[in-house]
Structure 1
């Protein structure tokens, strides 16, 4: 009550049900202690009828119930206590049962006491990084346009929410002034479910009751809210009862993209480029193999007898700044004597941007093409420098029959260092801070390996930012947002870069091409080019090898 009504943190909002709930809890607890005190006092007054030789025995044991004992001493000696005890017992019992009826009928916040354990029991058993797939040939609708389009678990999430606001406190979109609050999305959907519930319950099986009145997308949940999400998973990580706001946002994106064809114009350009060119970087003139010129890197079309496939990814292969990351990874693998090759022009986009933007059809088409190519070459082990590709190939391709041993390059390099296979020629005298990529950290729990590499190269642990590891702040590039204009609020990449500047580090390290690109732009925007440089972990260790 003190936190809610006196301290009033931003994440806690107040409605009448909060006051009712707190009042019920307070009265039930206080009357319970008073009732215990009356019981002790009445028992001590009637010790002889209980076969006890002395009231001191009762008082002695009563001290273990210290609050009840205090009330009992205050009531001691009153001949009328039995009547008070009986009356209060009935009042207390009726109050408890009344509270249960209130919870059952009114569905207030206290409903979570019953619903949340059920929600935890039914939590997803899929890998954290995997989205639900759509059976495209069988689905009658794509995504969610109406409240009844959500799954049972999605709807159970709505009743499980306690409005604690932890998701909102950690949402980079909300923290940067965007209209998105995961808590608000869940609560708004719950209000719509409550509004539409009687109609849905009254309809016959097979009927479509429609969506009269407010539309879920546009009226209840604004499109700006839907497109503000970076899918960073901070809300999932912080929720104590396993609510999944991202799944609901993705389902609404799927409906907007596949059925309504309504989505940001810049995202449309990326999707069109993936359809036509196999990658999202529509303006590039580079080819998939330009970065490898002069490095003597094998292509599987020429020699497939390799131990490891280096999945380069679209950004590292085609975006000029990140080509240096691909080169660095190749140099490190060569220095360690790893037999590896690349697909070259046969590598398509993994499809992750399409799936997060909402184009499930395009994602599945790209995924199936890639799986066919990988199986055609008998690929078993894959190393990739992109956490988004890493997550997709490792956690989502198995949905379509593509099961491979997938390593992120920081995992693989850390293992090579552990085995003593990477010859470090020198130690780098640089102060480095490390940014945890969302899809590497929260999605796949890879936190220690990048730090181990930096420690091996510099001899010191990286300087940590305020938000780090599972509470790391998103760069703003996930969920397809790297291809969308950020026109509302502050830019997330600039907020994160300012955190890095506060550590007085010379290098802002990451292990994600999206992050590197976002930080390159942010460093220029905050005019920190002379003091801070964005580098991939692979680039840093490559310098120590040279």
Structure 2
């Protein structure tokens, strides 16, 4: 609700200048539209997909800034900029509609309210921009790689706000606006110009208004060439994100007659959604800050890998687009050329030319990068596809993995121990095997022991402890024994899809023949594979981790423990149980009910630090940087806890090795939760009755 003087100074602009500004605005918007179309064409050079969208997630992440705010300082900074500019954009549109087009949208107190929040929004955005400049150019955190584009964007946005407030302040000073109290920032700025002549104020107002408009148009036109592109790509990426990304990897049709290659070696072999991922990345570096490989000196930075792939896309997409257009128009058909085409000149195979092999093999598939990414960039599926190409097409992988593959293929386990010995860990335990039962349906659960639980001496103790717990609680279960094969987790995530599918098909057929419905396992890698990967091949089972079942048994009082107070333990959240399958509280509940004092590490729950064995790294030598398991062990020891509790065979092995390396094996026990609980089970019925009473 501007007074007459305010309206006059706002809109008494020379017609020629108006025409010029509107023309420039059209050019800016046209450049934005062209840039967006160009990026869309880049994405479309990839393989076509039709992902499902989630509007609720998009709203939560875009407007509520849910993931952004999990990192407090940069979160507040970004939220202030986002909401500040959102408010200013809306209020500017309202004022323009009302004052320029003479359409009354809001009047009276409501109009004054919008005038007030416009100033508040501008102040918030300016504060956020100053915070961003301080963080980027004074604090200089490692995860931010400053480029000219970053400075241009920040200064451009700051220029828009500062000139906007100056324009408002001069207007207030020149017109003695009676509603100035509802433009508090402009009112303060107006004090700088009190006493100036009306003509000088009008001239300054016009000049600054033109500057403000030019900065705004530059902002609009610059979006497609800058990181500002994420204004559009990030919400779209959030909408189309796959919540199960990396939990279940894409199934490869190994018998497809038209398949010329498996995995990915060229940029156009990624899906269009994966290529859009590359534009959604804002280089915020949160993935890098949480990547165990990067933090221990490996050549992997999820951020850099994403940006390198984006650069490869930018180099090759124009030629691919031109080639597609030529084919569509029929040009060049039947012509033979001996000189290399532009495409061939531009083509760089991703592996080796763009992404080094050491980078690809450094990933532990821990999913920490995807957990923290505000743009929902999906790093792990891209990495696995690159691995698939190396393994399936080039037979190029770390030498030690060859033995692992051969052992899985010949003996059904990575250790290469004879398959017939798979049930030897039982010893004198009375546990039925599915093949011995008259009716397999008489047991509730199949206990999937896994390779580590069957063959690794340290993890056999966990298997026996879990049997003791299940039998004490009256749970009916059986094992497959020699019929169980490796679930295929490591094979699949290393990239050997052929070996994975061979193992998976055998296991699924065996379990379906027995009518298995429910599975319990102590291995999070087996859990994730059986639960999320196997349904792709017809294996639909209800899978539960042993810590979840133990928590249920304790809660229902089917399992009773001695009431003694235990030691203090720090609990390690394994990646495949925690981040992959969202099981965080059940293990902690078990420890608490066992009388254990839980001491949290700094990195816990969804921000837990990987042990270093995931993604098949269990079977590879770690020769670059420092050892991930030692890093995690040091984090655990720094808590001062008397022991370390784990829930995964791989984690148990890696943390045990870490404690040994620190020469603390005699002082700091590393135990699976099943081992802690089994020691507290009353040995006699009398003791159990006494405990119950």
**TM-score w.r.t. structure 1 length?**
0.94
> Displacement of 1:515 after TM fit?
0.5
Which residue of the partner structure matches residue 518 of structure 2?
A: 381
Match of 1:219 among 353, 358, 380: 353
> Displacement of 1:250 after TM fit?
0.6
**In structure 2, C-alpha distance between the alignment counterparts of 1:324 and 1:344, rounded to whole Å:** 17
> Displacement of 1:136 after TM fit?
2.0
CA contact 2:420–2:482 (8 Å) conserved in 1 = no
**In structure 2, C-alpha distance between the alignment counterparts of 1:373 and 1:127, rounded to whole Å:** 28
> Displacement of 1:513 after TM fit?
0.2
The answer on 1:63 being equivalent to 2:181 is yes
The answer on 1:167 being equivalent to 2:287 is yes
The answer on 1:135 being equivalent to 2:253 is yes
**In structure 2, C-alpha distance between the alignment counterparts of 1:328 and 1:298, rounded to whole Å:** 16
The answer on 1:87 being equivalent to 2:221 is no
The answer on 1:457 being equivalent to 2:594 is yes
Match of 1:508 among 626, 629, 644: 644
CA contact 2:573–2:646 (8 Å) conserved in 1 = yes
The worse-fitting range, judged by mean Cα deviation, of 272-281 and 167-176 is: 272-281
Match of 1:29 among 152, 158, 161: 161
**In structure 1, C-alpha distance between the alignment counterparts of 2:530 and 2:514, rounded to whole Å:** 16
> Displacement of 1:214 after TM fit?
3.5
**In structure 1, C-alpha distance between the alignment counterparts of 2:517 and 2:610, rounded to whole Å:** 32
> Displacement of 1:127 after TM fit?
6.2
Which residue of the partner structure matches residue 49 of structure 1?
A: none
**In structure 2, C-alpha distance between the alignment counterparts of 1:250 and 1:522, rounded to whole Å:** 27
**In structure 2, C-alpha distance between the alignment counterparts of 1:222 and 1:356, rounded to whole Å:** 18
Distance 1:154 1:127, change over 3 A: closer
The answer on 1:116 being equivalent to 2:250 is no
Question: Partner of 1:4: helix, strand, or coil?
Answer: helix
**In structure 2, C-alpha distance between the alignment counterparts of 1:372 and 1:213, rounded to whole Å:** 43
Instruction: Mark the runs of 5 or more structure 2 residues left unpaired by the alignment.
Output: 1-132, 329-340, 684-693
Which residue of the partner structure matches residue 186 of structure 1?
A: 306
Task: Kindly provide the CA deviation profile for residues 307-339 of structure 1, in whole angstroms up to 9, marking residues without a partner as x.
Answer: 111000111111111000111111100000001
**In structure 1, C-alpha distance between the alignment counterparts of 2:245 and 2:283, rounded to whole Å:** 26
Which residue of the partner structure matches residue 11 of structure 2?
A: none
Question: Partner of 1:421: helix, strand, or coil?
Answer: coil
Distance 1:542 1:132, change over 3 A: same
The answer on 1:196 being equivalent to 2:196 is no
Question: Partner of 2:351: helix, strand, or coil?
Answer: coil
Question: Partner of 2:352: helix, strand, or coil?
Answer: coil
CA contact 2:316–2:347 (8 Å) conserved in 1 = no
CA contact 1:451–1:461 (8 Å) conserved in 2 = no
Match of 2:430 among 293, 296, 299: 296
> Displacement of 1:150 after TM fit?
0.7
The answer on 1:527 being equivalent to 2:663 is yes
> Displacement of 1:169 after TM fit?
0.6
> Displacement of 1:283 after TM fit?
5.6
**In structure 2, C-alpha distance between the alignment counterparts of 1:76 and 1:363, rounded to whole Å:** 77
The answer on 1:273 being equivalent to 2:410 is no
**In structure 2, C-alpha distance between the alignment counterparts of 1:82 and 1:143, rounded to whole Å:** 65
CA contact 2:629–2:658 (8 Å) conserved in 1 = yes
> Displacement of 1:86 after TM fit?
2.7
CA contact 1:313–1:384 (8 Å) conserved in 2 = yes
Match of 1:314 among 451, 460, 470: 451
Match of 1:409 among 546, 550, 567: 546
The answer on 1:331 being equivalent to 2:477 is no
**In structure 2, C-alpha distance between the alignment counterparts of 1:490 and 1:440, rounded to whole Å:** 25
The answer on 1:352 being equivalent to 2:489 is yes
Any runs of at least 4 consecutive aligned residues in structure 1 with deviations exceeding 6 A, and if so which? 205-208
CA contact 2:266–2:348 (8 Å) conserved in 1 = no
CA contact 1:512–1:536 (8 Å) conserved in 2 = yes
The worse-fitting range, judged by mean Cα deviation, of 128-137 and 320-329 is: 128-137
RMSD of the alignment, in Å? 1.7
Distance 1:428 1:311, change over 3 A: farther
> Displacement of 1:464 after TM fit?
0.9
> Displacement of 1:102 after TM fit?
1.4
Instruction: Mark the runs of 5 or more structure 1 residues left unpaired by the alignment.
Output: 45-57
> Displacement of 1:82 after TM fit?
2.5
> Displacement of 1:291 after TM fit?
1.1
Task: Kindly provide the CA deviation profile for residues 102-134 of structure 1, in whole angstroms up to 9, marking residues without a partner as x.
Answer: 122x2x212111211111111114366211222
Task: Kindly provide the CA deviation profile for residues 149-191 of structure 1, in whole angstroms up to 9, marking residues without a partner as x.
Answer: 1111111111111111111111000111111111110011111
Which residue of the partner structure matches residue 420 of structure 1?
A: 557
Match of 1:148 among 243, 256, 268: 268
CA contact 1:299–1:342 (8 Å) conserved in 2 = yes
The answer on 1:72 being equivalent to 2:209 is no
> Displacement of 1:261 after TM fit?
0.7
The answer on 1:541 being equivalent to 2:677 is yes
CA contact 2:246–2:380 (8 Å) conserved in 1 = no
> Displacement of 1:64 after TM fit?
2.5
